[in-house]
């Protein structure tokens, strides 16, 4: 691999993460009295971040075109998306250059960071997070544009928004658990201050509740992260690293020869890809399929060729298979209780962010009290980190526990769908209704991920995971837009009570037309973005558990009911109080229009815009987990 290519990946990914933070530092230098300048600098910074994410998308597209002819590689992800292959190669470069050709379409950079604790600065882009980064950049830019009327402490507000964007993008791109945790925590303080300082009358209560719930989830993630770090991964990493540590041990204690020291050294890692391989190997042991475990590249010229005879090549080249298998069996990761506990900690940690019932009660309060632009980011981006964490971390790191608990996870998702819809139906506060709607819609994400099928029916699980990712992206568009729709009417009415609105169609026809499309998209009307993800999840859920699927299908009636009822109360009829409301301004129209166009385009062209980018990575993700069940 060309060293210059590695440096390019390093520059691209680092710029993507830290460009918003650099703009935030620039804003700190500008005097606070230049409010317009601060707003425009923040907007241009967000636009530059979006442009950079689109450049990553174009780069990724060209790599796909160049590599699509080689379909012979089977690894953690699909042949078109081999994040683990790139990671493995870069890790070997830090120890000793490995000759030979290397092909991968993913952008990955790995550099040592805190060597004492085996923490790396590891970032990567593949089909699972590429569109999430674009969504984050788009939503943040629109949120900054929606913040034009905020006049109180403008500098601090914009600095916090940009810092939040860096934290979210960093979390999406992280391939190291420790680094992921750092970015995950970086998001906490900006959101706390944005709600607590610029929110409504109960902003302090809502901000404190948000922090308590989020910190509780973070503690669960921290405990799981520490436990996973204790796992010995020496047989799954480049053996040059292990050899160097053996030699170092022998130098520190001359009484030990290298051969005696060899096998005693433990290697620990926060690397997500390495821990995923350990998780898969542990699942084979726990399901009595340990005979399938093999050493990578044995008997083959190309180490990344597909395994034969059903073997799963997880041990690193040069490892003694029998000794490695013995060490794996003695590891806590092959203990059923350990698997259950770690998966539960990871699941709860991310469930708070999804949010999953009953860990959802912070969300309605946060939405109601947060200013409109913050609600746009919260609903459009932050909730997606919970679902992404389940996909990238919880399921791959503890696949045995995930498979054993799949039905219960699906039940949690189905309960969230129904509960969120029922509670939304009883709301009169426009924002609170949308908050509970988010709880319901994100339940489809959990149900899709839980639709774990056997090897013979893995195509249904792949459909469910694709649907879950699509649902996150579609909800990111519709939720962002609908919270802005509420903000528009709040600027005129100075309240969000649906029972006091009504009659908005006559004075605000453009606003009404744009809002109608978004309401129908959120409802899941065919031809709009909300339909595709929910349909795929329902299909997968039917193959997995018909009762859960029937529950999700019937819940669509509830979704249509509360959204249509909200529409009628807000827009139809005649209301003297709303007759004088002006239609959307040019700025409001510019913010709403792209979201409406995306809601339509994603429904009409789901494969071109979403699935063609997501499916390759999801296919490999499922391919490597479903056969293990």
- As a whole number of angstroms, the distance between CA 304 and CA 102 comes to 9
Q: Nearest 5°: phi and psi at 123?
A: -130, 150
The three-state DSSP-derived secondary structure of 608-624 is HHHHHHHHHHHHHHHHH
Strands (E), 275-427: 293-295, 312-315
- As a whole number of angstroms, the distance between CA 614 and CA 57 comes to 12
Residue 119 DSSP SS3? strand
List the one residue out of 361, 572, 363, 603 whose CA is nearest residue 483. Answer: 363
Verify cis geometry, omega within 30 degrees of 0, for the bond prior to 355: yes
Domain assignments of the chain as residue spans, ordered by start: 232-330, 398-628
What is the DSSP track for 339-380?
A: HHHHHHHHHHHHHTTTT-TTS-THHHHHHHHS-HHHHHHIII
HSE (side-chain half, CA atoms, 13 Å) at 622: 26
- pLDDT > 70 fraction of the chain, expressed in percent and rounded: 85
- As a whole number of angstroms, the distance between CA 113 and CA 87 comes to 16
- Of the pLDDT bands very low, low, confident and very high (cuts 50, 70, 90), residue 235 is confident
Q: Report yes or no: 183 and 174 within 8 Å, Cβ to Cβ.
A: yes
How do residues 597-620 score in pLDDT, each as one tens digit?
999 999 999 988 888 888 888 888
In the block, tokens 């809002």 appear at 515
| pLDDT the model gives residue 298 | 55
C-alpha distances out from residue 585 to 140, 146, 497, 592, Å: 20, 12, 22, 11
- As a whole number of angstroms, the distance between CA 58 and CA 52 comes to 10
Q: Report yes or no: 442 and 512 within 8 Å, Cβ to Cβ.
A: no
| pLDDT the model gives residue 321 | 86
* Mean local confidence (pLDDT), 338-362: 92
Q: Report yes or no: 144 and 46 within 8 Å, Cβ to Cβ.
A: yes
Strands (E), 282-391: 293-295, 312-315
C-alpha distances out from residue 351 to 35, 356, 447, 614, Å: 38, 5, 13, 22
Strand partners for 108: 124
HSE (side-chain half, CA atoms, 13 Å) at 581: 28
- As a whole number of angstroms, the distance between CA 583 and CA 590 comes to 13
Token reading at 479: 């939720």
Q: Who wins on pLDDT, 64 or 40?
A: 40
- As a whole number of angstroms, the distance between CA 569 and CA 559 comes to 16
- As a whole number of angstroms, the distance between CA 18 and CA 88 comes to 25
Q: What is the phi-psi region of residue 256: left when phi exceeds 0, alpha when psi lies from -120 to 50, beta otherwise?
A: beta
List the one residue out of 621, 619, 603, 617 whose CA is nearest residue 130. Answer: 617
List the one residue out of 585, 505, 535 whose CA is nearest residue 145. Answer: 585
- Rounded to the nearest 5 degrees, what angle is found at the Cα of 155, between the Cα atoms of 171 and 209? 55
| pLDDT the model gives residue 289 | 84
In the block, tokens 């595709």 appear at 532
How do residues 523-535 score in pLDDT, each as one tens digit?
989 999 999 999 9
Q: Report yes or no: 141 and 46 within 8 Å, Cβ to Cβ.
A: yes
List the one residue out of 123, 138, 39, 45 whose CA is nearest residue 599. Answer: 138
- Of the pLDDT bands very low, low, confident and very high (cuts 50, 70, 90), residue 77 is very low
Of 2-16, 312-326, 395-409, least confident by mean pLDDT is: 2-16
CA dihedral (619, 624, 627, 629) positive or negative: negative
How do residues 121-165 score in pLDDT, each as one tens digit?
999 888 888 999 999 999 999 999 999 988 889 999 999 999 999
- As a whole number of angstroms, the distance between CA 577 and CA 590 comes to 26
* Mean local confidence (pLDDT), 447-465: 82
The pTM of this model reads 0.90
């Amino acid at each position: 691999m060309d060293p210059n290519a590695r440096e390019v990946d390093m520059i691209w990914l680092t710029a993507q993460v830290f460009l918003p933070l650099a703009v935030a530092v620039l804003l700190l230098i500008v005097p606070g009295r230049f409010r317009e300048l601060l707003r425009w600098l923040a907007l241009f910074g967000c636009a530059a971040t979006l442009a950079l994410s689109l450049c990553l998308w174009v780069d990724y597209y060209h790599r796909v075109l160049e590599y699509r002819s080689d379909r012979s590689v089977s690894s953690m992800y699909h042949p078109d998306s081999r994040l683990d292959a790139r990671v493995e190669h870069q890790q070997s470069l830090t120890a000793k250059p490995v000759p030979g050709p290397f092909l991968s379409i993913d952008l990955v950079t790995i550099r040592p960071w805190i060597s004492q604790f085996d923490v790396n600065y590891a970032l990567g882009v593949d089909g699972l997070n590429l569109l999430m980064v674009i969504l984050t950049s788009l939503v943040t830019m629109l949120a900054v544009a929606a913040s034009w009327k905020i006049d109180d402490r403008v500098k601090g507000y914009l600095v916090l928004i940009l810092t939040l964007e860096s934290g979210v993008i960093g979390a999406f791109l992280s391939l190291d658990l420790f680094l992921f945790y750092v970015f995950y925590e970086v998001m906490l303080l900006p959101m706390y201050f944005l709600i607590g300082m610029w929110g409504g009358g109960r902003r302090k209560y809502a901000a404190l509740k948000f922090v308590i719930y989020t910190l509780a989830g973070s503690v669960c993630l921290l405990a799981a992260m520490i436990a996973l770090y204790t796992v010995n991964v020496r047989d799954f990493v480049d053996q040059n690293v292990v050899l160097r540590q053996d030699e170092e041990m022998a130098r520190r204690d001359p009484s030990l020869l290298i051969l005696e020291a060899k096998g005693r050294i433990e290697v620990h890692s926060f690397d997500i890809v390495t821990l995923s391989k350990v998780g898969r190997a542990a699942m084979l042991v726990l399901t009595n399929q340990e005979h399938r475990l093999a050493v990578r590249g044995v008997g083959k010229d190309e180490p990344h060729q597909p395994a034969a005879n059903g073997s799963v090549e997880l041990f690193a080249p040069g490892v003694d298979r029998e000794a490695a298998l013995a060490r794996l069996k003695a590891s806590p990761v092959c203990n059923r209780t350990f698997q259950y506990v770690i998966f539960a900690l990871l699941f709860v940690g991310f469930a708070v962010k999804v949010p999953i019932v009953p860990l959802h009660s912070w969300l309605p309060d946060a939405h109601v009290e947060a200013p409109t632009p913050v609600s746009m980011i919260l609903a459009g981006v932050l909730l997606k980190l919970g679902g992404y964490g389940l996909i990238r971390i919880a399921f791959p790191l503890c696949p045995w526990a995930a498979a054993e608990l799949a039905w219960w996870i699906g039940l949690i998702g189905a309960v969230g769908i129904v509960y969120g819809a029922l509670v939304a139906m009883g709301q009169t506060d426009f924002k609170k209704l949308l908050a509970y709607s988010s709880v319901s819609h994100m339940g489809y994400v959990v149900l899709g991920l839980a639709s774990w099928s056997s090897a013979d029916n893995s195509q249904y699980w792949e459909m469910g995971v694709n649907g879950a990712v699509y649902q996150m992206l579609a909800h990111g568009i519709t939720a962002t837009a609908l919270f802005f729709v509420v903000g528009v009417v709040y600027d005129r009415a100075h309240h969000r009570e649906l029972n006091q609105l009504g009659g908005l169609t006559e004075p605000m026809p453009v606003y009404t037309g744009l809002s109608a499309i978004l309401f129908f998209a959120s409802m899941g009307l065919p031809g709009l973005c909300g339909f595709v993800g929910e349909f795929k999840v329902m299909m997968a859920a039917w193959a997995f558990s018909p009762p859960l699927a029937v529950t999700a299908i019937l819940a669509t009636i509830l979704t249509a009911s509360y959204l249509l009822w909200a529409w009628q109360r807000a827009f139809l009829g005649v209301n003297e109080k709303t007759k004088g409301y002006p239609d959307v301004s040019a700025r409001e129209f510019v913010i709403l229009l792209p979201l409406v166009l995306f809601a339509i385009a994603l429904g009409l062209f789901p494969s071109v815009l979403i699935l063609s980018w997501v499916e390759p990575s999801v296919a490999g993700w499922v391919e490597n987990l479903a056969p293990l069940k």
